[in-house]
Structure 1
Amino acid sequence: MTNRMNISKFIPLVLLNRRLAVMFPLGFLSGLPLALTAGTLQAWLTVEGVDLKTIGIFTLVGLPYTLKFLWAPVIDRLVPPWLGRRRGWMVLTQLCVALGVVLMAVTSPRQHPELLAAFALLVAFLAASLDIVFDAYRTETLESQERGFGAAVWVNGYRIALLVAGAGALVVADLVGWQTTYLLLAGLMVIGTAVIVLSPEPSRVAEAPKTMGEAIGAPLAEFFTRPHAVGFLAVIVLYKLGDAFASSLQTAFLIGGIGFTAGEVGYVKGIGILATLLGALFGGLLMARMGLVQALLLFGLLQAVSNLGFVVLAWAGKSAALLAGVVMVENITGGMGTAAFVALVMSLCDPRYTATQFALLSSLEALGRVFAGRPSADVVAAVGWGQFFLLTFVVALPGLWAVWRVRERISFGPTGPVAPVVPAVVPVQPAGTR
């Protein structure tokens, strides 16, 4: 493969390469359970007349998604006796998630809200575990030159699953009821295990940690003994930070600050989802040609500049055309940045500890999204909306500086970052992957 991949020749390979072809359906399976314990569950509780205070408590069931790094070492350490280290866990957790959704379906929110909350928490825990092993599988299966586009395809499958289990589930529930809707989605998860069984074995195979102590401590020790480890952590925390601040109060800005109706905002955000999907795919294709360093820098700069569109909107006032343009640009550049960022995280994982290291790094990135809301509100109160979004552009710049600082540890070709030296890795080329 040359250093400048021909994109027109690369696209058809998605259908011929099993590694890339399974990314979309596996991404779909990964995203399917999330809405069933979040927005869709809230809609069910509201329709059933559950009081708002109880519904607020139900939002805590999403906690396992932020804490999944705590039990990721177990998934790295234990190897199921079927389908290998990653696919075995994928089948097991997928079936357990489906069973948990069935238990939710047969539980009445009115009569047994506590029991439903317990089942929803169980599903969230299992779905977070499923995310751990899916992330590890994707990281160990995609070749370095495939990571950008593969990550984009995965993200698109994930987001479409959110639409199916979110808006789609609400429509179906109106027709057949909530219990049947949840049972149908559980059945879809069971059917999805066939995709896992037919998926290729990872191309990077490493020996599992021999003890639980090694599974817990070795991933951290291995990462922090690398050159520029702290620099890479800075990239992880800072790269999407400007986006996190800009999106934290975006809906409040559009409705309360500018005066758009909720319906207008919802319509434009729906278009924005499509723009994100297109941006991720386009970014993945560009990475195959330009390499990861250039992609991180260019996409990160575009992410930052897109925040300035909200500055213009804040100063110009209510304009539907301007709103649509700003949201489209923001989502396209955000999708491109996400594709590059996920490719970077995958490349930083040692195959022996992929599940643990990916869970830790992704949790660090999530800190910005979790904690950006309150400081953002304080800044808006102090300086106003226009200056706030101008500051989000400034907040995005340290992430670019962090990428520049560690650029020498990232290869400049389309093969991605310099992988850590892992003597225990056994290269595998499964038959029929092309």
Structure 2
Amino acid sequence: MPDSPRRSWRQALSVYRRAPVVAMLFLGFAAGLPFLLVFSTLTAWLRDAGVEVAAIGFFSWIGMLYSIKLFWAPVIDRLPLPILTRRLGQRRGWMLLAQLVIAGALAALSGLDPRQDLPLVAAFALLVAFGSATQDIVIDAFRIESAEERIQAAMASTYIIGYRGGLLAAGAGALYIADLVSWQAAYLTMAGLVGVGMLTVLSRPEPPRSTLGVPWQHEPRVRRFLHAQRHRPRRWRRFGAWVVGAVICPFTDFFTRYGRQAIGLLALIGLFRLSDLSMAAMANPLYIDLGFSLAEIANVTKVFGIAMSIAGGVVGGLLVVRYGIARMLLAGAVLAAATNLLFAALAGLGAQLPMLVVTIMGDNLANGLASTVFIAFLSSLTSRAYTATQYALFSSLMTLPGKFIGGFSGVVVASQGYAVFFLWSTLIGLPAIALAWWLGRDPSRIPAAATEDGAR
């Protein structure tokens, strides 16, 4: 993977003043805001209202919408919206629609009583999650299409900072408002904060798209389909052609561009975050079982941890601009796996607050850096002809293996203990390190990222 020439630190820092990079700070906030409002913040509201724990557990299924967004990404990639697409463009139109759905559903939630309206609470929470997952699809596509590849890491960095800010607003901010006023006021305030994303959409231009010059009807696979189905009814041919152009072509395009290397790239995507995602569910149980107080856990893991994650994201963005994706991808894979050893050490030392601080600092710095680098890497693989669909495929593949394996984490801890579990979670990061090393050895393995700008 040939990287761009090394730049000075002054040049690397100057990238954060560019308008597309700054815009991602606010779009990241818009993406992070609804996430906790259908997860931990919502479950806190339900329990505070007296809803049974068994019923609250079923609300975790809402999160499945984020993992299956791939299925409606092709629609967002290609289907124009009445009025909105004509006025704002394909990306901004869909983004604004998703934000309107989120704001409307949050406002509706603010008028409900969970004890009396639990089915409606579930329905509107699903609507928030659907709007949020849809917004994620569009923001990813908007980010990739808004600027050249060499500043994608910086855009990913500011996106992560904004996303963490949205999590803080929807987590600590909502809880604070609920404690002082009411849960209804908290959710209504969050609905108002969706306006941050709306203002950003309205103030930024629609990014250029390569598909505008090549309508889906003219793509070779679509034309072959239309020719083979020429005796079928016209409506069937049009629908089938749309499916071929919007759903099949994005996948065949990826394998056509990368050939035999595609399997290795997909393996790296699926394995890169396996180490940190598989251990995530056991972090809080470890802190509690060691005897840390809830206040200590909140102060160190939430406030301090988010600050370290933001710092790691900024550092990752700078290092990619300075040294390129290839070197930093390998470094990110090594750090993401190695910092799990800190948790193993913490499990052995017990409730030592300084060690907890060191563990959280190392883990969040590493994950912030690795996430920024990996988002830039995924962006370099994405064809701007099928941005939303391909990136949705990559992001789904990135999280599903880790989430699946993480489901067995409690079994390992129960039988082997925390120290062995975190050692095991370090070892399963080795394949990602090997694949990152393999990728960086030969530039021809990712020909689409061979230019400095990533132009396609």
Is TM more than 0.5 here? yes
Contact 2:308 2:361 in 1 (8 A): yes
Amino acid in the other structure paired with 1:105: S
Which position in structure 2 is the counterpart of 1:52?
A: 53
Secondary structure class of the residue paired with 2:385: helix
Select which of 145, 148, 157 maps to 1:140. 145
Moved more, 369-378 or 393-402: 369-378
Per the TM alignment, residue 87 of structure 1 is displaced from its structure 2 partner at its CA by 1.1
CA contact (8 A) 2:4 2:324 kept: no
Alpha-carbon offset, residue 296 of structure 1: 0.5
User: Is the 8 Å Cα contact of residues 144 and 416 (structure 1) preserved in structure 2?
Assistant: no
Contact 2:15 2:151 in 1 (8 A): no
Match of 1:28 in 2: 29
Quote the offset at 1:106 in angstroms.
1.7
Cα distance in 1 between the residues matched to 2:69 and 2:33: 17
* Aligned match of 2:211: 206
Identify which of 349, 364, 371 aligns with 2:382: 349
Task: Give yes or no for the alignment of 1:175 onto 2:180.
Answer: yes
Q: What's the counterpart of residue 103 of structure 1? A: 108
How far apart are the structure 2 equivalents of 1:300 and 1:65? Answer: 24
Displacement of 1:341 in angstroms is 0.8
The corresponding residue for 2:308 is: 275
Alpha-carbon shift at residue 42 of structure 1 (Å): 1.3
Instruction: Name 1:363's counterpart in structure 2.
Output: 396
Counterpart in the other structure of 1:284: 317
CA distance in 1, matches of 2:443, 2:373: 13
Q: 1:376 pairs with 400, 405, 409, which one?
A: 409
- Report the AA paired with residue 243 of structure 1: D
Segment of structure 1 superposing worse, 313-322 or 231-240: 313-322
Compute the displacement of 1:163 (Å): 0.7
- Aligned-residue sequence identity (percent) comes to 38
Partner of 1:266: 298
Q: In structure 2, do the counterparts of structure 1 residues 89 and 408 end up closer, same or farther at CA, with 3 Å as the change threshold?
A: farther
Q: CA deviation at 1:405?
A: 2.2
Q: CA deviation at 1:237?
A: 0.9
Query: More deviation in 270-279 or 258-267?
Result: 258-267
Give the letter aligned to residue 8 of structure 1: R
Following superposition of structure 1 onto structure 2, how do residues 407-426 of structure 1 map, counting pairs within 5 Å?
A: 407=440, 410=443, 417-418=449-450
SS at match of 1:406: helix
2:355 pairs, out of 312, 318, 322, with 322
Shift of 1:86: 0.8
The alignment partner of 2:86 has SS state of coil
Shift of 1:191: 4.9
SS in 2 for 1:81: helix
More deviation, 144-153/78-87 = 78-87
Displacement after TM superposition at 1:69 (Å): 0.5
Task: Determine the C-alpha separation between the residues in 2 that align with 1:377 and 1:46.
Answer: 24
Deviations 1:241-299 (A, max 9, x none): 1112232312212222x332333222220211111110111111011011101001112
Aligned partners of 2:247 and 2:442: how far apart in 1? Answer: 26
For residues 145 and 204 of structure 1, do their structure 2 counterparts lie closer, same or farther at Cα, with a shift above 3 Å needed?
Answer: farther
1:358-398 CA-partner distances (Å, limit 9, x unpaired):
11111111113322333323333443322222222211111
Q: Secondary structure at the match of 2:58?
A: helix
> What's the RMSD between the two structures over aligned residues?
2.4
Q: In structure 2, do the counterparts of structure 1 residues 280 and 361 end up closer, same or farther at CA, with 3 Å as the change threshold?
A: same
Matches of 1:411 and 1:302, distance apart in 2: 26
- The offset of 1:406, in angstroms, is 2.6
- The match for 1:430 is none
Question: In structure 2, how many angstroms separate the alpha carbons of the residues matched to 1:127 and 1:316?
Answer: 40
1:14 matched residue in structure 2: 16
Native 8 Å contact 1:292 1:412 kept in 2? no
Is 1:188 matched up with 2:220?
Answer: no
Aligned partners of 1:248 and 1:369 also within 8 Å: no
- Partners of 1:351 and 1:54 in 2: CA distance: 43
Change (3 A) 1:410 1:83: farther
Q: Secondary structure at the match of 2:113?
A: coil
Q: CA deviation at 1:157?
A: 0.3
The 3-state SS of whatever aligns with 1:352 is coil
Q: Is contact 2:273-2:399 (8 Å) kept? A: no
Are residues 1:251 and 2:284 paired?
A: yes
Q: Residue 153 of structure 1 aligns to which amino acid in structure 2?
A: T
Gaps of 5+ in 1: 426-434
Task: Please state if 1:153 is matched with 2:158.
Answer: yes
Which residue, 287, 290, 303 being the options, matches 2:336?
Answer: 303
Contact 2:309 2:365 in 1 (8 A): yes
Task: Report the TM-score, using the length of structure 1 for normalisation.
Answer: 0.90
Report how far residue 156 of structure 1 moved: 1.0
Instruction: Letter of the 1:155 partner, please give it.
Output: I
- Find the counterpart in structure 1 of residue 271 from structure 2: 238
Question: Does the residue aligned with 1:372 lie in a helix, a strand or coil?
Answer: helix
Instruction: Decide whether the 8 Å contact of 1:235 with 1:403 is kept in 2.
Output: yes
Whether the 8 Å CA contact 2:209–2:385 is kept in 1: the answer is no
Match in the other structure for 2:120: 115
